[in-house]
Structure 1
Amino acid sequence: MPNRIGTTLAATSVVIALAGCGQRQPSTVPGFEGVGFKGGSLPGILTDAVTFRRDDDTISTTVMLASGMSDSDYAEALQSFAHEEMLAAAANDPDFLERIRCAM
């Protein structure tokens, strides 16, 4: 994930927390057997929730809300899906999750 997207998301109100999700399907993310997700965004407000079922049957759930984004940052985020990559990294990499916590 490029630093500029990470910086943009960290500079806005980004929240990672536990939550439930709705739709479920097999995962294409390595190390995960299944994924469930629920998203929905408004201009300048990006949201997503993803539940990952790991190969060992443990579950990790991530939720993100980014608000106060400029129109250009919002449009770029919707085209790049970097926020979804960030959620997958946060669910799978404790060091990455710690970087998010420090940035907040």
Structure 2
Amino acid sequence: MGELLFGVPHRITLLTQADCALCEHAKTVLAKVAADHPLVINETDLTSEEGRRLGAEAGVLFAPGVLLDGKPFSYGRLSERRLRRLLKAAPSSPHRHPPPPPQTQPPEQGAP
């Protein structure tokens, strides 16, 4: 399993609909990526009240829609390469807190 950044996995919301071949493809891609990156995946039907709300807020025009840490990532065919690249480069999700920067001492008064 992938290394947890600060102990918190990325949250994926997958907006799907019935009889959707691209939705099945997205589920397969997410399962493969989850083997290497910590993910929490929540599937929501795009035709449900919550799904319609999330889809409208994210600008998802058709299924499948993918939200990464609550932000729009894609809709339609999910690119495994693009998702892996983003997860590898992502410093943190909104629910992650990076370690504080190292403390530096101010220069002493009168020092050159």
When the two structures are superposed, what TM-score results if normalisation uses the length of structure 1? Answer: 0.26
Larger Rg: 2
When the two structures are superposed, what TM-score results if normalisation uses the length of structure 2? Answer: 0.25
Report which of the two has the higher share of helix: 1
